[in-house]
Structure 1
Amino acid sequence: MASETASPTVNSPSSTPTQAPVEKPSTPPVNILPSPTARIYSLVHPALLLTLCTLRFEALVADPIRELLADLPWLAFLQITYVLICLPPAGTTPTEASFPAPTDGEDKKKTPPRSPSGPGVTLRPGKPGLRRKQLAGKHDFAGVWAKLMPAFLSLSLTFLLATPILAVLLVLFGAPLTTHNPETVLCAAHIALLCATALVYVHGVDGYVWKEVWGISRPADAVWGSALGTGLGAWFGAIPIPLDWDRPWQAFPITILVGAYIGYAVGSLLSRTPLLYGKRIQFTPVEDEEGEKKTN
């Protein structure tokens, strides 16, 4: 009897070794919307940003604060246009974003009510063509509003949250603390618009996704690639500032902004190639991670 009572104790859940908590699966990489307009503009958009940076470079060197303020609305407009045309809003798939699901009104329109007296007689004949146009207009408005609302929310969160955070990061990475404060804030606003607008638009406020963003562990796509490219470009752009070349364009934050714009364009395009799309940055070899799990 002792052996019979011991076996269920060994197999009981309390005595089994503790298993590692199941991690939440990562969200897949974001695809550009399948419409031809979205695919074409996703390639044109980086070129437009580089053109804006090139055309206004001399004015930026002459008066950085004034030029940064003047270019900020144009950059915001281009970024909002990009997310509206090319990206699915948070909580949707590319197919749903391109073709909104029919509402209850449309389902009822497809199956009109029948009268009890005859199967082929409708209760309210009216003007079916007019009703179809009205319902189509409602669907179009709902689809546009479903994309406009996340776009304006992403723009608001970019200015209210991302800009102060990036301004602090610029100071921590060597930007002047007691001087050039307007330049620091405006530079942070430009970088925030480049890297955070699309991230907020497609991912919302999903905490797990943002942990991946801050941990640099997102799978490569057009959105994450452009954000990572912006950060790396700004970091490399700071290299010429302390050099003793005595050039006017070395003043803070000109080279940082130019590097951010170039990094955005390069990251947005390269991350969509088969070589990088869906890949992650690995800081620890996979074999080492598997070995650590086995030992634990």
Structure 2
Amino acid sequence: MASTPSIPPVNSPTQSQAPVEKPSAPPVHILPSKVARIYSFVHPGLILALGASRFQAVVANPAQELLQDLPWLALLQLFYVILCVPPAGSSEPGSSDNEEKKKPAARSPSSPGVTLRPGKPGLRRKPSSGKSDWSGVWAKLMPAFLSLALTSILATPVLSALLVLFGAPLTTHNAETLLCAAHMAFLSATGLIYAHGVDNSVWKEVWGIARPADAVWGAALGTGLGAWFGAIPIPLDWDRPWQAFPITILTGAYIGYAAGSLISRVPFVYGKRVQFAVEDTEEDEKKTN
């Protein structure tokens, strides 16, 4: 009696399919309007001008001057994100799909947008009442104010703790530490929260220094690196008044913000990620094994 051939077991769809990971958020584009593109280059200069113009006052009285400068920094950042950065949840600017959707369809003589009457020229639709314009403005104002609120409530305490962990005095200069953290938070976190919201996958990449380069992430990374290098002159025995905490840290943060936001938009840098040599060697070892 002939034996029947064995049929290999068929894997169920749940066994054969691996869990699909959420794709990484693409780099943030500057809005395509001419005003937004121009101001995106002017804004880093305004940030540097704010820091340079108040430098001597900060040296004379750090806590009081940093508190007075904080609203101006918040206003500049608020204006920047509203004018130049797409809010979280909006469609990517400049994509071909959106451009095709925005193109008006060709109207025929029988189109409902044109009313033809005997002996009279075509009457077009009345312009919109302006409600849609106000809704568009509100759609940017609301996430902008929320980003400032979350920056103040969440990012400032986190950066204050990090400053203490990296050597800021714990029992003294508490006002200076808090205000330094607030300035750094407004520089680094406002744009990130406005552009990405509270997306968990994006913030994992932020803390892992794995975001693709763009104006928002470059500014945040530049702020951190600038503050890091700005702390170098503090322990040196030069006996200069500007070496006091946190003057050089904030100076480095302001310079790093401006440099990072501009360098990250260079074509051969934009969209690239920071690569660590350790990860590269681990991947090579896995391939050889």
- Choose from 273, 286, 289 the match for 1:292: 286
How far 1:128 sits from its partner (Å)?
7.5
Q: State which of 27, 38, 41 in structure 1 corresponds to 2:39.
A: 41
Equivalences for residues 174-193 of structure 1 within 5 A: 174-193=167-186
Shift of 1:2: 7.0
3-state SS of paired residue (1:4): coil
- RMSD of aligned C-alpha atoms? 2.8
**What fraction of aligned residue pairs are identical, expressed as a percent?**
65
Matching residue of 1:52:
50
Distance 1:263 1:3 in 2: 73
C-alpha distance in 2, partners of 1:150/1:271?
Answer: 24
Q: TM-score, normalised by structure 1?
A: 0.83
Cα distance, 1:3 vs structure 2: 6.8
- Match of residue 12 from structure 1: 11
Larger helix percent:
1
* Rounded Cα–Cα distance in structure 2 between residues aligned with 1:200 and 1:3: 64
Question: Match for 1:150 among 143, 161, 176?
Answer: 143
Q: Of 205, 210, 215, which residue of structure 2 is paired with 1:217?
A: 210
| Contact 1:230/1:264, CA 8 A, preserved across alignment | yes
What amino acid does structure 2 have at the position aligned with 1:223? V
Q: Offset of 1:276 from its aligned partner?
A: 1.0
Deviation string, structure 1 residues 260-293 (Cα, Å, up to 9, x no partner): 0000000000000012111101124546426526
Residue in 1 that maps onto 2:127: 132
Separation in structure 2 between the aligned mates of residue 145 and residue 211 of structure 1, nearest angstrom: 29
Q: Which amino acid aligns with 2:33?
A: S
The yes-or-no answer on 1:268 pairing with 2:266 is: no
| SS of corresponding position for 2:8 | helix
How big is each residue's C-alpha offset from its partner over 1:34-57, in whole Å with a ceiling of 9 and x where there is no partner? Answer: 111011100000000111111110
- Per-residue CA distance 1:211-242 (angstroms, 9 max, x = gap): 00001000000000000000000010001101
Amino acid at match of 2:93: P
What is the CA deviation profile of residues 73-103 of structure 1, one whole-angstrom value per residue up to 9, with x for unaligned ones? 000000000001100000112259x99x99x
Matched to 2:286, the amino acid is: E
SS at match of 2:219: helix
Return 5+ residue gaps in structure 2 as ranges: 103-110, 118-122
Q: How many residues align?
A: 270
Gaps of 5+ in 1: 103-110, 114-118, 122-126
Q: 1:87·1:94 contact (CA, 8 Å) conserved in 2? A: no
SS of 2:149 mapped into structure 1:
helix
Conserved? CA contact 1:60–1:67, under 8 Å: yes
Aligned CA distance change for structure 1 residues 255 and 20 (closer, same or farther; 3 Å): farther
Rounded Cα–Cα distance in structure 2 between residues aligned with 1:12 and 1:192: 51
* Partner in structure 1 of residue 93 of structure 2: 94
Tell me the residue number matched to 1:81. Answer: 79
Counterpart in the other structure of 1:248: 241
Alpha carbons of structure 1 residues 64 and 287: separation in structure 2 relative to 1, 3 Å: closer
SS of structure 2 residue aligned to 1:27: coil
* Cα separation, partners in 2 of 1:3 and 1:267, compared to 1, 3 Å: farther
- Whole-Å Cα distance in 2 between the matches of residues 289 and 80 of structure 1? 42
Comparing 212-221 and 277-286, the one that deviates more? 277-286
TM-score, normalising length: structure 2: 0.85
